[in-house]
Amino acid sequence: MTLLSVQHLHKAFGGNQAVNDVSFSLQAGELLALIGPNGAGKSTTFNLVNGQLAPDSGSITLDGVSLLGRKPHDLWRMGVSRTFQIAQTFGSLTVIENVQMALLSSDGQSLSPWRRAANYRRADALHLLEQVQLDTQAQRAGRALAYGDVKRLELAMALANEPRLLLMDEPTAGMAPDERHALMNLTRSLVTQRGVAVLFTEHSMDVVFEHADRVLVMARGALIAQGTPAQVQADPHVQTVYFGS
Ligand code: ADP
Ligand code: MG
């Protein structure tokens, strides 16, 4: 069952065709990686899907419903969560309050005054923290967390929305190799439990080839290959783009 369908997406900046006729689909329970050299159009594609940019033409649908013209917070309400290349959490709040804020937002409650978060759905927040193995740090200040833990907190906040689609922008950026694999293993188990679909951009090839179900490869705005990690690794076109051979 196709959850996300992207068809014939185009986006130009001036005369620069950053995304040129890109089409792909994503199923529930699937981890799909978007890779390509610098300037390939990964971030632009990602930002078209998350509503930060509007395409010049093409369609993006979630369960058959168009996402075009919707802002990131509208998408959040439709069950689209995202995490950022540089994790975005509230450093001045405790770890559990961060998740409570995400729960408030997911329930359509106003985020201010912030004090209201104090008792909001505490048990649910703690359960989410258990799932990302941060429950023992629930009372620490967000800013006191190690970077890998901030990434896991961000993931818990994204899951507070009970997403159908999770968009992750370079989820393992800035992490040590063992932390990277731990985060992706955690993402995999949450995806399997919840049937969430994940689209992620990624720089680190070992993460992509070990953890993605399928890989999209972009170069100069176009999708040049897609398939399983083994298929795209063996693709001569991909090898030319990456290794110039
Ligand atoms: P990637 O994320 O794969 O490195 P991008 O999507 O960031 O690639 O960029 C694709 C192309 O679009 C590049 O040539 C880049 O310079 C251009 N581009 C991206 N964003 C903008 C923007 N906001 N304004 C103008 N040009 C942009
Ligand atoms: Mg980019």
DSSP string, the chain: -EEEEEEEEEEEETTEEEEEEEEEEEETT-EEEEE-STTSSHHHHHHHHTTSS--SEEEEEETTEE-TT--HHHHHHTTEEEE-SS----TTSBHHHHHHHHHHHHTT----SGGGGGGTTHHHHHHHHHHTT-GGGTTSBGGGS-HHHHHHHHHHHHHTT--SEEEEESTTTT--HHHHHHHHHHHHHHHHHHT-EEEEE-S-HHHHHHH-SEEEEEETTEEEEEE-HHHHHH-HHHHHHHH--
Q: Using the mean position of ligand 1's atoms as its centre, give its distance from the Cα of residue 137 in Å.
A: 38
ipTM of predicted assembly, 2 dp = 0.98
For residue 42, give the ligand nearest its CA. 1
What was the pLDDT predicted at 204? 85
Atom 27 of ligand 1, residue of closest alpha carbon: 13
Averaged pLDDT for residues 96-101: 92
Q: Give the percent of the chain with pLDDT over 70.
A: 96
Confidence of residue 149 (pLDDT cuts 50, 70, 90): very high
Mutational pocket test of ligand 1: of 11, 13, 45, 46, the residue with most ligand atoms within 8 Å of the beta carbon: 13
Atom of ligand 1 nearest to the CA of 14: 25
Atom of ligand 1 nearest to the CA of 36: 3
Q: Using the mean position of ligand 2's atoms as its centre, give its distance from the Cα of residue 211 in Å.
A: 20
For residue 39, give the ligand nearest its CA. 1
Give residue-wise pLDDT tens across range 31-41.
999 999 989 99
Q: Is 224's pLDDT higher than 90?
A: yes
Q: Which residues line ligand 1 (CB under 6 A)?
A: 13, 16, 18, 36, 38-44
What was the pLDDT predicted at 85? 76
Per-chain residues with Cβ under 5 A from ion ligand 2: 42-43
Atom of ligand 1 nearest to the CA of 218: 3
Please state the CATH superfamily assignment of the domain spanning residues 2-243 in this structure: P-loop containing nucleotide triphosphate hydrolases (3.40.50.300)
For residue 41, give the ligand nearest its CA. 1
What was the pLDDT predicted at 173? 87
Tell me how far CA of residue 221 lies from CA of 11, 21, 236, in angstroms: 9, 8, 18
- Tokens at 196, concatenated: 């969430």
Q: Is 81's pLDDT higher than 80?
A: yes
Q: Is 21's pLDDT higher than 70?
A: yes
Confidence of residue 114 (pLDDT cuts 50, 70, 90): low
Atom of ligand 1 nearest to the CA of 40: 3
Lowest mean pLDDT, pick from 25-39, 82-96, 120-134:
82-96
Higher pLDDT, 240 or 55: 55
Atom of ligand 1 nearest to the CA of 53: 23
Q: Using the mean position of ligand 2's atoms as its centre, give its distance from the Cα of residue 177 in Å.
A: 20
Give residue-wise pLDDT tens across range 1-17.
899 999 999 999 999 99
Averaged pLDDT for residues 56-81: 94
Atom 5 of ligand 1, residue of closest alpha carbon: 41
Residues 216 and 9: their CA atoms lie apart, in Å, by 14
Give residue-wise pLDDT tens across range 122-136.
999 999 999 999 999
Confidence of residue 205 (pLDDT cuts 50, 70, 90): confident
Q: Is 181's pLDDT higher than 60?
A: yes
